[in-house]
Amino acid sequence: GENVEQHPSTLSVQEGDSAVIKCTYSDSASNYFPWYKQELGKRPQLIIDIRSNVGEKKDQRIAVTLNKTAKHFSLHITETQPEDSAVYFCAVVLGGYQKVTFGTGTKLQVIP
């Protein structure tokens, strides 16, 4: 089955700095890669996603890059703000959502 690794598990940055979270996966047939933000006790919220036919996608301060050859993708948050503090999960989707595998999560803390 799919194996998804996410690093780092915790990340502390100063407000205004950038944060990068990386995920690697094992199944080269995976074709959709969403990122979720989860605040304590709340539901995961989709923040950005990328499909296998695209190398990079950006939405304001958030961007995701995908390297299909190396089987890794990364979340980039620029100009971090305290409200960015949360747990971030990457996910790897195979086929038409036949299988969704989540990464282990990264707790991001933005220090004011």
Partner 1 sequence: GAVVSQHPSRVICKSGTSVKIECRSLDFQATTMFWYRQFPKKSLMLMATSNEGSKATYEQGVEKDKFLINHASLTLSTLTVTSAHPEDSSFYICSARDTGKNSPLHFGNGTRLTVT
Quick count: other Cβ atoms within 10 Å of Cβ 82?
10
Tokens of 73: 């993708």
Among 3, 67, 81, 104, binds partner 1 (CB under 8 A): 104
Among 46, 67, 79, 111, binds partner 1 (CB under 8 A): 46
Phi/psi at 21 (5° precision): -125, 135
Q: Tell me the closest approach of the beta carbon of residue 34 to partner 1, in angstroms.
A: 6
Among 20, 63, 94, 102, binds partner 1 (CB under 8 A): 102
Please identify, using beta-carbon distances, which residue of 18 and 104 lies nearer to partner 1.
104
Q: Of 14-22, 55-63, 73-81, 104-112, which part binds partner 1 (CB under 8 A)?
A: 104-112
Q: Identify the DSSP state of 18.
A: -
CA–CA dist 37, 50 (Å, integer): 15
Q: Identify the DSSP state of 35.
A: E
- Is 3 one of the binding residues for partner 1 (CB under 8 A)? no
Q: Of 13-21, 59-67, 73-81, 102-110, which part binds partner 1 (CB under 8 A)?
A: 102-110
Kindly write down the DSSP assignment for every residue of 63-90, as one continuous string: EEEEETTTTEEEEEE-S--GGG-EEEEE
Binding footprint of partner 1 on the chain (CB under 8 A) = 34, 36, 41-46, 49, 89, 91, 97, 100-105, 107
